[in-house]
Amino acid sequence: MNPIRLIPRALAVAVAAVALTGCISLFPKADPVGLYRFGVEPVPAAKGPAGALFGVIKTPTVFTRASGGDRLLTITNGEAAYIASARWVSPASVLFDEAVARAFEADPGRARLIGRGEVAKADLVLRLEVRSFEAVYVDGAKTAPEVLVQVRGVINRNSDRALVGDRVFEARVKASTNNVGSIVEAYDSATAKVLTDVTGWVSASGAGIAK
């Protein structure tokens, strides 16, 4: 390569760098990105089965790559896309795990989720796999979408890893309008519905473990 050609190119890069440092906003017409969260809707508390409490360890939730980040996934006629100018305040996988923890705290059943670093006996191991976490435009791109949350739960006994239960939970909630705020509310409601079923299932699965 001719070294003479590198000089003007390097100079141009240096000038561009100086120009950038003098600019506060390079894209004044860009829309600001809205930050949203889900998992804030209280999970309905149902009376759990009687009996002693038992401990549950939850492994990190498994998300699909497309929906586990901070962008809101949509599906229209089989085509995947993200909602422009909208982000989750944290990755969806993080927000979901936080919602799971709150759901178990609010549940009056026997299952008690053991926190990270907490010294306590664990009777069961819970694994959650989020298979679908998306807004589906069932009736076309200009209509209000339906949020689909589908989660597979697997419970093993901690002592010998024997399988205790394996179920798939699903919730579909239609947004009231085709705007981001309504879609986020639908995500929130669908997540709450699924976690209500999950906590009840885990509590019932511990029957006979703790006396």
Mean pLDDT of all residues in 194-198 = 95
Q: What is the pLDDT of residues 78-104, one digit of tens each?
A: 999 999 989 999 999 999 999 999 999
Confidence of residue 44 (pLDDT cuts 50, 70, 90): low
The residue type of 66 is: A
The structural domains of the chain, with segments of one domain joined by +, span 34-205
What is residue 135's predicted lDDT score, i.e. its pLDDT? 97
Residues 88 and 95: beta-carbon distance below 8 Å: yes
Q: Which residues contact 188 (CB under 8 A, 6 or more apart)?
A: 38, 39, 40, 41
Question: How far apart are the C-alpha atoms of 95 and 93, rounded to whole Å?
Answer: 6
CATH topology of domain 34-205: Rossmann fold (3.40.50)
- Supply the pTM of this predicted model: 0.78
Question: How far apart are the C-alpha atoms of 129 and 154, rounded to whole Å?
Answer: 8
Could you tell me what percent of the chain has a pLDDT over 90?
59
Q: What is the pLDDT of residues 106-152, one digit of tens each?
A: 877 888 898 776 667 889 999 999 999 999 999 988 899 999 999 99
Whether the per-residue pLDDT at 45 is higher than 70: the answer is: no
